[in-house]
Amino acid sequence: MAKGAGQKRKTLILARVLLERTDEDHTMTVPELITALEAEGVTAERKSVYDDLEALRGFGLDVQSRKGRAPGWFIGERPFQLPELKLLVDAVQSCKFITRRKSDQLIGKLEGLTSVWQARQLQRQVYVDRRVKTMNESVYYSIDTLHAALAEGRGVRFRYFEYNVRKEKVFRREGAWYAVFPHGLIWDDENYYLVGYDEEKGGVRHYRVDKMAGLEITDRTGKEGGGPGALDVAAYAAKHFGMFSGREGRVRLRCENGLVGVVLDRFGQESVLVPDGRNHFTVTVDAVVSPQFFGWLFGLGDRVELLAPDWAAAAFRAQLDAVGANYGENQKD
């Protein structure tokens, strides 16, 4: 008997059909598989289909069969299980630095990693409709460029901007290029930051990736700034609350015992907690004293006291006085 049409494609089409249309709850019988092949212009006999199923199993595809209720063939194990895909979909939907359009594209690709039946369960609506998303579509590709620069040990250059009240880009340094030797990337408060050595400023700085324009890799190496890995990026991130700049110092706090978890979450499990009476403890940490740091302290209310250094405590009192002045009797209408 002459071979039917499309035999060279038959096994590949069969694999695609199984991956797209079957799972543990949705099987296909051999006659249904033959019909699916014929719809693709491929003729097949039962025996050849069985042979192909065994070939796919030998190749590593988890092709399984079941008798009894809902008998037929299906794909069992996949690279990603449904709960894992649901987690990834939720993360993509919630992620601030990915635009809505790119989020939809990524979720569509994730749906392609499972059957059409399970993909319907991925079309979930996490409650992020009103969540702020970045307006800069290029951030998705900028992150890849920065990783490439880090891997190659090369510098980057970019223009850096803010938005005005009309949501227009306003470039810093009058539109001049920033030349930076990357040390690493930090994901903090749902934003990506590049940490690197700034040639013009002559020191380590950090920059929001979604506020970069025209990012490109340069031919210069990072030797002048120490090169990738020369800076403890994790330690740098721990000191900078919300990536705000400020004066760095060794800060001593007195906290209620109920704040142990809060302190460890912020400064790490290595923090040394010293009991101070029955209900309090003290902790000494390295931090960048910035408005964001003061905001963190204020959020803890009277359960925490900034003991040292004196200049940090004085700056905190000045900050409280300045904010309080906005709500005094003489405040403007």
Q: What does pLDDT average to over the chain?
A: 86
* 257 against 104, higher pLDDT: 257
Predicted confidence at residue 229, as pLDDT, reads 54
CA quadruple 51, 54, 58, 60: dihedral positive or negative? positive
Q: Is the model's pLDDT at 324 over the cut of 60?
A: yes
> Strand 169-171 relative to strand 154-163: parallel, antiparallel, unpaired?
antiparallel
| pTM (two decimals) | 0.59
| pLDDT value of residue 199 | 85
> Where does the chain have alpha helices with state H?
7-21, 30-39, 46-59, 82-94, 100-111, 116-122, 139-152, 233-239, 260-267, 291-299, 310-325
pLDDT of residue 131 exceeding 60, the answer is: no
pLDDT over 80 (residue 224): no
Predicted confidence at residue 273, as pLDDT, reads: 92
Q: For 39-91, how does the pLDDT look when each residue is reduced to its tens digit (9 = 90+)?
A: 999 999 999 999 999 999 999 999 999 988 779 999 999 999 988 998 898 88
Please tell me which residue, 255 or 188, carries the higher pLDDT value.
Answer: 255
What percentage of the chain exceeds 70 in pLDDT?
Answer: 88
Which residue type does 48 have? S
pLDDT in tens, 193-205: 899 999 888 888 8
Q: How many CA atoms lie within 13 A of 121 on its CB side?
A: 13
pLDDT in tens, 259-274: 998 888 888 778 899 9
Length of the chain: 333
Q: What is the DSSP letter of 272?
A: P
Secondary structure class of 47 (helix, strand, coil): helix
Q: What is the mean pLDDT of residues 212-223?
A: 86
CA dist., res. 11 & res. 170, Å (int): 56
The closest of 10, 259, 248, 26 to 120, measured between CA atoms, is 26
**What pLDDT was estimated at residue 243?**
59
Instruction: Copy the structure tokens of residue 234.
Output: 């994790």
Whole-angstrom Cα distance, residue 71 to residue 65?
7
- Which among 44, 64, 37 is positioned nearest to 53, based on CA atoms? 64
Please write the tens of the pLDDT for every residue from 143-187: 889 999 998 999 999 999 988 877 788 999 999 999 999 999 888
Instruction: Write down the pLDDT at residue 130.
Output: 46
Residue 96 pLDDT? 72
Predicted local confidence at residue 127, as pLDDT:
47
| pLDDT given at position 236 | 80
pLDDT band at 227 (very low <50, low <70, confident <90, very high): low
Q: How confident is the model at residue 331 (pLDDT cuts 50, 70, 90)?
A: low
8-state DSSP, 230: S
Give the span between the Cα atoms of 145 and 208, in whole angstroms.
Answer: 14
